[in-house]
Structure 1
Amino acid sequence: MDFTVGALIDLDDYVASTRAHGREWARRQLDRADRAVRAVAARRPASCEPLPPDEWLVRLSGDDPDTLMGEATALAEQIRARIVSATDLTATVSLGTPQQGPGSTTATERDARRTNSYKLLLGGDRVITAPREEHSDAAPPVRIEAELARRIQAGDRGGAAGLLAGWVDRCVQERGLSPTTLHNWLMGELLFVVDVVNRGRLAGGSTDWVDAFARLPIEELTTVTQIHERSYLRIWIEETLWRLVPPAARDILSTAESYMAAHYTDPRLRLTTVAEAVSASPFYIAHLFADVRKTTFLRHLTGLRLRHARILLTATTAPIDTVAARSGYLSAKVFRGVFKRHVGCSPSEYRRNHRPLPL
């Protein structure tokens, strides 16, 4: 019975390159790569199956497994070289082991993908043959939890992501490391991040994991185990930490102030609505105004509204009740009371005293 071996062609840094150059550029590169793969596969009768967005699976068959592997390796080198000459990208070609019997079609792709997982450790632009499965129960070469926690608690999302990505680059230098072990280490660090940022605690002080994963489902974290390219892993880490780690306190306060500046004319604006808009608790927003701005939420809101009201009083002839409505007050009576308490005179008196003289 014939043997079959799979060759998985995977364009290198495709996601990062698409972000840098745009989708139209990426489409042209894919078209060129597709023609290159099919042209080489056609020379040695072999099936060629595109696997969007940036992979192809080529299958070769033969009656001798050793001869077949030699032919597959030569074909893989030809495909890789052809893609380099035809596109602005490089490619990694991962070879599985010869399979035979029922189910070999599925087995060839699974085996080639297992080989391709080592691209995370070895890097791209190469032909990878099926490695011997490594088993490692060793600990990571360096521990970063203390510094990672410090950056998270400071709201330094970019710094935390950079630290974690640099840690991965250090880990892949370990001899005998397998992709599975690296993924397990990385999952441990991600769970540590969830533990640090999660405010939901049980009575004994431990993390309320039910609450944590209700906000960020565990399946979203475990997608990291499917990543086999360091450039994309860095993007994934940055995006995931951006979602997980709260911004710095001053960023939250600035966002709250920007929201208030855009909505202060809405009489329904409350501390709770601002807090909901910036994904923080009302108590925390109130604390930030007191601690950073040395004022209160209501005083800041009143200042925005009265500043606008003073402009309307001096620059327009709008009636007082209209000025009140345009400044965020439901009634002229409430507006007059607030205005006199903070400005020291009624709106009408302010208008008379600050109306510009006629030319």
Structure 2
Amino acid sequence: MNAPFTVAALVDIDDFVASRRSRGQPWARHQLDRAGRAVQAVTYGRPTASCRPTPPDEWLVLLTGDDPHTLMTEAGGLAEELRTRIVGETELTATVSLGTPHSGPGGVAAAERGARWTNSYKLLLGGDQVITSPAPDRPGSPPPVRIEAELARRIQVGDVGGAAGLLSNWVDRCLQERDLDPKTLHSWLMGELLFVVDVVNGSRLAGGSTDWLDACARLPVERLITVTEIHERSYLHIWLEETVRRLVPSDGAKDILTMAESYLTAHYTDPRLRLSTVAEAISASPFYISHLFAEERGTTFLRHLTGLRLRHARTLLSTSALPVDAVAVESGYLSAKALRSVFRRHVGCSPTEYRRQTYRARP
């Protein structure tokens, strides 16, 4: 009798690190609990299926069967059911990555490795989908654009945010390449990061070459290798920002969070203002700005922006006779309806009621 085959499906929550940092640990824990129950509900009662969590945000589901073709068909249906169930029962989305069937000694371990390799393509393909085993790698191609000259210039003038933003935008450009595979992207990224180390490293050997013993103290090899384990675009942008800030001396350059807050203070009355607008204006990635608001201020970008707008609206309602629709426009909202909705949610009453309680006519 032939040994049974095993195929693995890796259930991976999308953008978990970025969402946890922006929305908080209690929210993330609650959502993961709900996602875990959804995975259990789909696999429960299937005698050929088993699952185990792999923290912080993954579940490994194993299916066994005698025929590999039938097994892959069953795995595809199960993967779509898992993804749909998580989307329907949580505020999260998930990607389910399928490996190929394996049998014999070591078949289970090989099946898991296959699913994890498939999941590395999530970095290129994006989330909220089922990913099947990709084509073999085609390494050796050059990156679509070279940024070393501009990257060196920004580093040399101490523009840390600009250097990190340039790298993040370059990654986004690389991800548009056809037939790109994760290993190639990781190789390009490692090359750019080693270039950054070379530019900032002041220690040179007698012949003028970089003292790599000193350089590796700035960027330990284990941190460099970490980039090969990243399969979320949002987290990759955060990781790049943090790594470049670790490598490049700021030389008094403005803090990214201070720059973002200053830009918001100057432009919050613009109803078209978005996180992407601020990120472009200060040469930083939107993911990193969100991360800084969560880590340093304990809030989110949107809450901070809403706070600025509501503070201005309350001042106008208390000290002027402007109609509510004019107050809305002056505060960054497109209509009085939009202002009323936000006002009730955050202040607990309508703008008109607030004015009635607080308005004091000028003498």
Structure-2-length-normalised TM-score: 0.68
| TM-aligned CA distance change 1:230 to 1:37, over 3 Å | same
Aligned counterpart for 1:200 among listed residues 192, 198, 203: 203
- How do residues 253-268 of structure 1 correspond to structure 2 at under 5 angstroms? none
Question: Aligned AA for 1:13?
Answer: D
Contact 1:6 1:57 in 2 (8 A): yes
Contact 1:136 1:176 in 2 (8 A): no
State the partner residue of 1:355: none
- How do residues 88-167 of structure 1 correspond to structure 2 at under 5 angstroms? 88-167=91-170
| TM-aligned CA distance change 1:89 to 1:146, over 3 Å | same
State the partner residue of 2:20: 18
State the partner residue of 1:70: 73
- How do residues 338-357 of structure 1 correspond to structure 2 at under 5 angstroms? none
SS at match of 1:204: coil
SS at match of 1:176: coil
| Percentage of identical aligned residues | 70
Q: Deviation string for 1:96-139 (max 9, x for gaps)? A: 00010011121111110000000010000000000111213111
State the partner residue of 1:36: 38
| TM-aligned CA distance change 1:186 to 1:250, over 3 Å | closer
CA distance in 1, matches of 2:234, 2:105: 37
CA distance in 1, matches of 2:125, 2:254: 39
1:171 aligns with 2:178: no
CA distance in 1, matches of 2:78, 2:181: 26
CA distance in 1, matches of 2:252, 2:21: 30
Task: Count matched residues.
Answer: 252
Shift of 1:251: 6.4
| TM-aligned CA distance change 1:6 to 1:202, over 3 Å | same
Question: Aligned AA for 1:20?
Answer: S
SS at match of 1:61: strand
Contact 1:95 1:129 in 2 (8 A): yes
Shift of 1:233: 0.3
State the partner residue of 1:60: 63
Shift of 1:11: 0.1
SS at match of 1:6: strand
- How do residues 239-318 of structure 1 correspond to structure 2 at under 5 angstroms? 239-249=242-252
| TM-aligned CA distance change 1:10 to 1:250, over 3 Å | closer
Contact 2:160 2:253 in 1 (8 A): no
Q: Deviation string for 1:55-86 (max 9, x for gaps)? A: 00000011111110010000000000000011
Shift of 1:248: 2.7
State the partner residue of 1:186: 189
CA distance in 2, matches of 1:250, 1:60: 54
Shift of 1:230: 0.6
Question: Aligned AA for 1:167?
Answer: W
SS at match of 2:103: coil
CA distance in 1, matches of 2:97, 2:120: 9
CA distance in 2, matches of 1:220, 1:64: 42
CA distance in 2, matches of 1:19, 1:135: 35
Structure-1-length-normalised TM-score: 0.69
Question: Aligned AA for 1:8?
Answer: L
Aligned counterpart for 1:226 among listed residues 224, 229, 241: 229
CA distance in 2, matches of 1:244, 1:250: 14
1:2 aligns with 2:4: yes
Q: Deviation string for 1:246-265 (max 9, x for gaps)? A: 0034669xxxxxxxxxxxxx
Runs of 4+ in structure 1 displaced over 3 angstroms?
249-252
SS at match of 1:173: coil
Contact 2:35 2:86 in 1 (8 A): yes
Question: Aligned AA for 2:98?
Answer: L
CA distance in 1, matches of 2:221, 2:203: 16
Question: Aligned AA for 1:119?
Answer: K
Question: Aligned AA for 2:57?
Answer: D
CA distance in 1, matches of 2:67, 2:186: 36
State the partner residue of 1:85: 88
Question: Aligned AA for 1:76?
Answer: A
Aligned-residue RMSD, C-alpha: 1.3
Unaligned runs of 5+ in 1: 253-359
CA distance in 1, matches of 2:141, 2:104: 37
CA distance in 2, matches of 1:214, 1:157: 19
Q: Deviation string for 1:231-252 (max 9, x for gaps)? A: 0000100110110010034669
